[in-house]
């Protein structure tokens, strides 16, 4: 890994492109797996299932990787500005490659209009990650930011269960509770910790304003999503309406935002 780091640092853009192609290959391989019948019968559900499948792979990989990095090197929590290791730098390369792949998939398949919120999120993440890769600064901060991917595992499972019309199953209920826990413990906590760190050390951080604005935008987005999540999963208007919404997923893409 020590020998690989100079190559990654010399060609960070190329490294991201190679990781993006790697995720595209995985995306193609996942298409050979069986899917629920209700998903296979609908073009949009079929695309979204494939899109979520590769997202689930990314979240499972990078979420575990990020937590492991911080457990092995706790200094990452205290020095998000300049501390990093070869394995953490590689993690940011890999994750950046996924976001490039996913943005291209959304745009090239004609789903940009319905997925504009995801594209904004990807842009916000990528400009921070690419900055870290090209300057070797804030790599540890990017690793801490990837704690949110632990929550993304349950978020993706939640949407896949909705695609399969299994939102009233026991598994959905269990995942719903885990999703709430991971949203607070990994997503909200990580985002607010990074915001606090930037505000506290703003006077000496490189491009502190750049990252503070980005964090504020990201915080607004995750709070809005959190409100939608709580409203949809824990305070539905009534069970009859929820069931009715479940029967009309084929005719609407709005449930992806809930």
* For range 34-43, the mean pLDDT: 93
C-alpha 128: how far from chain center: 14
pLDDT digits (tens, 9 = 90+) for 164-180: 999 999 999 999 999 99
Band of pLDDT at residue 22, cut at 50, 70 and 90? very high
Per-residue pLDDT at 140: 97
- Banded model confidence at residue 245, pLDDT cuts 50, 70, 90: very low
| Mean pLDDT computed over 132-152 | 97
User: Which pLDDT belongs to residue 228?
Assistant: 94
- Contacts (Cβ under 8 Å, ≥6 apart) of 37: none
Query: Looking at residues 135-139, what average pLDDT do you find?
Result: 96
Residue 251: pLDDT band (50, 70, 90) is very low
Does residue 136 contact residue 169 with C-beta atoms inside 8 Å?
no
Cα gap 43→91, rounded to integer Å: 33
Residues whose CB is less than 8 angstroms from the CB of residue 128 and which lie 6 or more positions away in sequence, other chains included? 138, 142, 145, 211, 214
């Amino acid at each position: 890994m020590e020998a690989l780091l100079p190559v990654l640092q010399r060609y960070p853009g190329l490294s991201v492109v190679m990781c993006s192609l790697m995720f595209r290959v995985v995306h193609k391989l996942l298409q050979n797996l069986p899917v629920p019948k209700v998903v296979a019968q609908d073009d949009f559900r079929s695309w979204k299932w494939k899109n979520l499948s590769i997202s689930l792979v990314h979240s499972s990989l990078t979420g575990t990787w990020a937590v492991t990095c911080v457990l092995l090197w706790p200094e990452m929590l205290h020095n998000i500005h300049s501390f990093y290791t070869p394995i953490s730098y590689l993690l940011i390369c890999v994750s950046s490659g996924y976001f490039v792949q996913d943005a291209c998939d959304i745009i090239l398949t004609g789903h940009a209009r319905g997925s504009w919120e995801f594209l904004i999120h990807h842009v916000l993440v990528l400009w921070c990650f690419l900055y870290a890769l090209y300057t070797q600064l804030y790599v540890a901060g990017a690793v801490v930011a990837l704690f949110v991917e632990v929550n993304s595992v349950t978020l993706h499972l939640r949407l896949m269960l909705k695609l399969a019309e299994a939102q009233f199953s026991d598994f959905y209920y269990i995942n719903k509770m885990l999703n709430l826990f991971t949203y607070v413990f990994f997503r909200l906590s990580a985002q607010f910790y990074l915001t606090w760190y930037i505000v506290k050390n703003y006077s000496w951080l490189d491009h502190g304003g750049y990252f503070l604005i980005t964090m504020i935008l990201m915080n607004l987005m995750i709070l809005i999503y959190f409100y939608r999540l709580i409203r949809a999963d824990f305070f539905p208007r009534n069970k009859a309406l929820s069931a009715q919404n479940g029967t009309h997923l084929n005719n609407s893409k709005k449930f992806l935002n809930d």
